[in-house]
Structure 1
């Protein structure tokens, strides 16, 4: 444990010296109309501990693109809140977006976090690279490689924190304060930069807050 804590301190020190950090007030982004919303509606909200935006439920996938926030390599952190309703909660982060159809994403299925079915549990967190590598294609052709379970998963009806580290070749995902990644995959996209967005899946919405973008300096 001490070695892991030391590693984290060193990592944070490296981030501070080699990166540019920006916190995005999602609540304000909605109020100032600085978002590009695809197939959804958004509205700001304020709760006791969280202030951000909420995306409504609707058929088809939806993305809320950030304005003027290009991203290449680095770290994206976000707090999210879904729900424990089967096939009604898919939410995460889209990145390296070229347009509304071509992007990479990491998203979560909270309704699978504590599912009794062991097969469903290994579908808790997912990486995709649209348009070529959808979740259906990856599950059919490379099963269990790009989606995993989350050990000691958070409450599916409560807020949880995700940290997504993106390099030129890999995507690594951490949940809450766990120092062990819940997902580490080789990237499937040839694009090295692009837009950042909030992603929701078919018939799904969700709440998002405390977005932080750490861009590594080239």
Structure 2
């Protein structure tokens, strides 16, 4: 678990995702963003389109620390890729951790170990990482969440590793060393090809 000393931790940022869709300063790439209100979940929905999509958060920068959010995809093969992009330099250069909910509870053991993925675009796509470093930058999620339901994610980023925790697990579902250093500090919501996604309760806690 990432330990943040009160003496050095910077102020938490909790963007209001429910009003973000109307913020004129947001940058949405290859998607449309709409407000989402569903019971206790107040957030934003990115629609489904070919290609990858991003919603860059305005007035928020991030280098190291933790990122927490609730997210929902769906149990439809190859149509649900949801996660967070960070260390962004531009719309095509960033790192990301994302999930494939349709693989969470697959009966195919190979698909199950492809449930959570790290990428570093544009050089290291999931295809390149899977080919050159099989099973190193993706993993299963256990216990597996409901592939059609909301689940909670905590991403911890330091200079030497990236760890992803799901729901209340104290064991990282994925832990990797960044494959290359990215100097960017933009952060955004991310969805993959042919995918939309729902996001809520985002909290960003940077550390120096």
Q: Under a length normalisation based on structure 2, what TM-score does the superposition of the two structures give?
A: 0.96
RMSD between superposed Cα atoms in Å: 1.3
Matched, 1:86 2:77: yes
Q: Does 1:118 align with 2:109?
A: yes
In the TM superposition, residue 45 of structure 1 has moved relative to its aligned partner by: 1.3
**Deviation of residue 191 (structure 1)?**
1.8
Asked if the contact 1:73–1:193 (Cα under 8 Å) also holds between the matched residues in 2, the reply is no
Report how far residue 69 of structure 1 moved: 1.0
Q: Greater CA radius of gyration, 1 or 2?
A: 1
For residues 42-88 of structure 1, the C-alpha deviation after alignment (integer angstroms, 9 at most, x for no partner) is 10011111000000000000011011211110000010010000001
**Contact 2:70 2:200 survives alignment (8 Å):** yes
TM-score with structure 1 setting the length: 0.92
Q: Which residue of 2 aligns with 1:161?
A: 152
Q: Which runs of 4+ in 1 moved over 2 A?
A: 14-18, 31-34
After superposition, the Cα gap between the structure-2 partners of 1:50 and 1:25, relative to the gap in structure 1 and judged at 3 Å, is: same
SS at structure 2 position matched to 1:27: helix
Query: Which residue is 1:130 aligned to?
Result: 121
Counterpart for residue 199 of structure 2: 208
Distance 1:15 1:31, change over 3 A: farther
State the shift of 1:31 in Å: 2.2
SS of residue matched to 1:88: coil
Alignment length (residue pairs): 207
Shift of 1:22: 1.1
Q: What is the CA distance between 1:15 and its match in structure 2?
A: 4.6
The superposition leaves residues 130-172 of structure 1 with CA deviations (integer Å, 9 ceiling, x where unpaired) of 0110000000010000000011111010000000000012101
**What does residue 53 of structure 1 align with?**
44
Within the candidate set 8, 14, 30, 1:18 is matched to: 8
* Higher helix residue share: 1
Structure 2, gaps ≥5 residues long: none
* Structure 1 gap ranges (5+): 1-7
Does residue 185 of the first structure (1) align with residue 176 of the second (2)?
yes
